[in-house]
Amino acid sequence: MVRITVLLASIFVLSGCEYLKDNSEEIAMNNAKAIGAACRQIGTPLIECYASSPKVNKGNIFAGWKEMDAYMRDNKIPNSDAPPKENDAESSTVVEATTADKNKKAEDPKPPKNMPKEK
């Protein structure tokens, strides 16, 4: 009776291994496609995308990139990091404001006048 129980338990456990193996390959493929899609959405070139994930299957990265490219073209979605248009007044104001903030930070701050002098 014990042998039958052990045999059935081992068969049950080993049959699950094949399911986990198949499932992990599918997960790895979906992760690679997600990497490719993200690279396309932010405008990263494929070569940089491949270099940032050297252990991931390049074919699956390209498949994800290509799917996202088709989706973005169909829906006329620009890259998320695309530079602002020059004729857009609001975006040029934002660019000017961030440039002014960077210039302010670059200047050396003057100490307050009432600070005691160090000896």
The total of structural domains in the chain comes to: 1
Q: Is residue 19 part of a domain?
A: no
Domain that holds residue 38: 25-104
Would 3 be classed as within a structural domain? no
Residue 110 located in a structural domain? no
> In this structure, is residue 14 part of a structural domain?
no
Instruction: Give the C-alpha separation, 33 to 27, whole Å.
Output: 10
Query: Where does the chain have alpha helices with state H?
Result: 2-42, 46-52, 58-74, 89-106
Q: Is residue 6 part of a domain?
A: no
Q: Name the more confident of 92 and 30.
A: 30
Is residue 96 one of the residues assigned to a domain? yes
Per-residue pLDDT tens over the stretch 68-90:
999 998 998 887 655 445 554 44
Q: Which of 6, 56, 8 is nearest to 35 (CA)?
A: 56
**Per-residue pLDDT, 93:** 47
Is 20 contained in some domain? no
- Whether 90 is covered by a domain: the verdict is yes
Indicate the pLDDT class of residue 5, thresholds 50, 70 and 90. Answer: confident
DSSP code at position 107: S
